[in-house]
Amino acid sequence: MTTAPARQPPETAARRRQSGPPLLAPVLAFAVLTVAYVVANRSTPHPDASGLAVLDYAQAHGTTIKVGAFLLFSSAVPLAISAAVLYRRLRALGIAAPGSAITLVGGVLAAGALTVSAMFAWTGGRLPEDASSGLARALADLSFLSGGPAYVVMFALLIAGVSVPGLLAGLLPRAVAWSGLVLAAAGMVSTLTLLAFGFSYLLPVVRFGGTVWLVVVAVLIPHTRHRTPHR
């Protein structure tokens, strides 16, 4: 005679459904790949370098550029997964649109910007010997614009989409939520890089500061929202 499996209490089943897939794993993968990309591309000419300097570097370090492009493209995958998991987590915690939707849209667009930047970088690493310095500079600019200002602004949307409900609904410590709002604001201001290159210092601030912030959020954001029972 077989014994039927014991049924779990409704609260336990609901808690497991709400917890969803793990968040820390894709966030850590994104952070590790981001750091690896920066290490691989640490000698890349700055955006204000001449086209000839970019061309010389591309022809001498084509393999390094392609490795960096691979790492950058790879980092887009866990970022998109992280955005999807965050969206599901926020919905499970009772956060409706636009907060949860902004998180998803910002994460997906940020991952897309990294992908486009990686494609331009990979193409720039395969320039033939008779390539012009103008072409090298144009490819480097397109890679910088998509992986710099475009990525940072979309990443700022993801951060804002988590920070606002994290602050208003008490899902995150106030210091974490406010620091996220500051990073999101800095990301929006970084669009001025397109007009004045002096604002470009905000790009690494949001990129790396936001990455660290995302790791902290992955650790602290709750799986379920505790409700006070009615008396």
In angstroms, the CA 68 to CA 123 distance is 12
pTM listed for this prediction: 0.86
Per-residue pLDDT, 2:
45
In DSSP notation, 148-162 reads IIIHHHHHHHHHHHH
In DSSP notation, 147-213 reads IIIIHHHHHHHHHHHHHHHHHHS--S-HHHHHHHHHHHHHHHHGGGGGT-GGGGGHHHHHHHHHHHH
Total Cβ atoms within 10 A of residue 117: 23
Per-residue pLDDT, 225:
62
pLDDT digit string (tens) for the chain, length 231 residues: 444 444 545 444 444 444 567 999 999 999 999 999 999 988 889 888 899 999 999 989 989 999 999 999 999 999 999 999 999 999 988 887 777 899 999 999 999 999 999 999 999 999 888 889 999 999 999 999 999 999 999 999 999 999 999 999 999 999 999 999 999 999 999 999 999 988 999 999 999 999 999 999 999 999 776 543 333
- Computed over its alpha carbons, how large is the radius of gyration of the chain? 21
Per-residue pLDDT, 226:
55
First to last CA, the chain: 44
